Structure 1
Amino acid sequence: MTAPATAVGADRAAPAGRRVLAQARFETLAVLRNGEQLLVTLIIPGVALIALGRGSFVDVGVGDAERIDVVTPGILGLAVMAGSLTSQAIATAFDRRNGVLRLLATTPLGRGGLLAGKALAVLAVAALQVVVVGATGLVLGWRPGPAGLPGAVLALLLGVAAFTALALLLAGTLRAEAVLAVANLLLVVLAVVGGVVLPVADLPGAWASVAEWLPPGALGEALRGALVDGAFPAAHLAALAAWALVLGAAVRRWFRWSS
């Protein structure tokens, strides 16, 4: 459950920036203290990186690149997708069911402050995920080219925006119990056939041409293009930006603050 914004004194609210930061801190700690969310956001991506980076039970189209160099960008995308989509969708859905969102909308934090706090919390968790997955990849021999880092950072930021918007769309339109099932199922399906973990070239031909431009495929291809090839993946970044705008507009139109 989300904590209300902290007030200063009996009748004077804290400055807006402090309220948002307090909310962001609370939401970040709530994720890190929740065993299930910690499993989804940090532990599973780390285990998947070790398994795919060192194992050979899954064929990964690596071309001339090292296997770990191809796998690590995909796991970075998977981690960000898990934190932005699954974790945020479930937390927001149950806050909505329990009336927390409606309550906070009437406090000095307000709707804008609540959304800003959630956005900052997602970014904080994503930064931690990048550090954990990146450090694991470096230990396993991953050596990303510095030329691709700006494109990779932009891809991660746009991915966070797109998947957070999708999470809020689910949380604001479905029952909490349905969100719990749909968000977890969606993560598994997108991880397996979405083109984020494995290159879209490894997917069936007809589906690959579609998956490449969906949010998970665009994120995975953008990260691989930047970190494996050292290129600036403009087309896939544009696709991610478009999805973020479309999903954000859908949230603005259909999100309901109470069940």
Structure 2
Amino acid sequence: MSHSTETGAPVDSDTFRPTDGAREPASVSSRILAQGKYETLAMLKNGEQLMLLILFPLMALFGLAFTGFLDGWAEQFGGSRIDVAMPGVLALCAMSTALSGQGIATGFDRRYGVLRFLSTTPLGRGGLVAGKAVAVLTVVAIQYVVMGVVGLFLGWKPDVPGFLLSLPALVLGVAAFTAVGLLVAGTVRAEATLAVVNTLWVVLAALGGSLIPAHHFPGGGSWFIELLPSGALGEALRAGMLAHHVAWGPHLVLIAWIVIAGLAARRWFKWS
């Protein structure tokens, strides 16, 4: 048995749901995936973001492949320059997407009130963060494919164990840099976020142990570099892709950054 509502839509008297012309609300997973798709396309359609996400890592890949910075490591692992360069470039990709790309986007969304608006919708704050995580992982996967294809043309020789061992390290690295990026984006002004994350990207790319292993730097500062998320991710990827073993120390460092930066972001993040 059914009756009509004030708007004229038939309603089932047993369930009190519209029987015609009504739509079921989207599930939580559908909302998160839709937000992730939007965030992904927003990053990929931005020319400046594409330079950061694709062009700069490619420049680093070519630079390391045709210079002698990594010759010592290539001899140690019995591989070529491109084999040793690829893990560092993938670490740079994760840092570019999770720290700079997502940090800047979140900072300006916060400035223009987008975060505050979205946090009041059915998506909610948790769904918004999850959508951003989906976007970051999707873009990093695209970067992996692009760098891999170019690497193959340059003589990269990947293998299944190295690929499989690179995945958990990349996921932890993405989570760590996303937490740091959200912490910065949620605590300072958008213009300051732009300056801070870009400065961090440059410093960590050049001196943070991602592209060039920490042991290549002179002095006793290698231990400090290995405690940075960039150094830990670079070491974890090189251990997995070149030596085919899990470097537990760097993985634990990344987990520590996820916990510390994540808790700090949860405590001090301002949605408007």
SS in 1 for 2:182: helix
Q: 2:66 aligns with which of 25, 40, 54?
A: 54
**Residues 161 and 244 in structure 1, CA contact (< 8 A), matched pair in contact too:** yes
Aligned equivalent of 2:5: none
SS in 2 for 1:206: coil
Give the alignment of 1:3-152 within 5 angstroms.
Answer: 13-56=25-68, 58=69, 61-62=72-73, 63-64=75-76, 65-152=79-166
**Residues 169 and 254 in structure 1, CA contact (< 8 A), matched pair in contact too:** yes
Q: Name the aligned partner's letter for residue 43 of structure 1.
A: L
Rg larger in structure? 2
Q: Whole-Å Cα distance in 2 between the matches of residues 93 and 10 of structure 1?
A: 37
Name which of structure 1's ranges 14-23 and 161-170 shifts more when overlaid on structure 2: 14-23
**Residues 186 and 268 in structure 2, CA contact (< 8 A), matched pair in contact too:** yes
Name which of structure 1's ranges 146-155 and 24-33 shifts more when overlaid on structure 2: 146-155
**Residues 163 and 241 in structure 2, CA contact (< 8 A), matched pair in contact too:** yes
Aligned equivalent of 2:228: 214
Structure 1: gaps of 5 or more residues: 1-8
Q: Whole-Å Cα distance in 2 between the matches of residues 11 and 66 of structure 1?
A: 57
Q: Name the aligned partner's letter for residue 155 of structure 1.
A: A
* Structure 1 position 60, deviation (Å): 5.1
Q: Whole-Å Cα distance in 1 between the matches of residues 215 and 51 of structure 2?
A: 29
Aligned equivalent of 1:5: none
Over the matched positions of the two proteins, sequence identity in percent amounts to: 52
**Residues 183 and 265 in structure 2, CA contact (< 8 A), matched pair in contact too:** yes
Aligned equivalent of 1:3: none
Q: Whole-Å Cα distance in 2 between the matches of residues 152 and 15 of structure 1?
A: 32
Aligned equivalent of 1:197: 211
**Residues 70 and 85 in structure 2, CA contact (< 8 A), matched pair in contact too:** no
**Residues 70 and 81 in structure 2, CA contact (< 8 A), matched pair in contact too:** no
Q: Whole-Å Cα distance in 1 between the matches of residues 85 and 157 of structure 2?
A: 12
Structure 2: gaps of 5 or more residues: 1-20
Change (3 A) 1:99 1:193: same
Q: Whole-Å Cα distance in 2 between the matches of residues 60 and 117 of structure 1?
A: 40
**Residues 70 and 84 in structure 2, CA contact (< 8 A), matched pair in contact too:** no
* Structure 1 position 11, deviation (Å): 9.0
Name which of structure 1's ranges 16-25 and 143-152 shifts more when overlaid on structure 2: 143-152
* Structure 1 position 61, deviation (Å): 3.3
Q: Whole-Å Cα distance in 2 between the matches of residues 11 and 147 of structure 1?
A: 46
CA-based RMSD: 1.6
Name which of structure 1's ranges 26-35 and 236-245 shifts more when overlaid on structure 2: 236-245
* Structure 1 position 51, deviation (Å): 1.8
Name which of structure 1's ranges 162-171 and 149-158 shifts more when overlaid on structure 2: 149-158
Change (3 A) 1:59 1:123: closer
Query: 1:195-223: per-residue Cα shift (whole Å, max 9, x none)?
Result: 00001111123211110121000000111
Higher relative contact order (CA 8 A, sep 6+): 1
**Residues 169 and 255 in structure 1, CA contact (< 8 A), matched pair in contact too:** yes
Q: Name the aligned partner's letter for residue 133 of structure 1.
A: M
**TM-score normalised over the length of structure 1:** 0.91
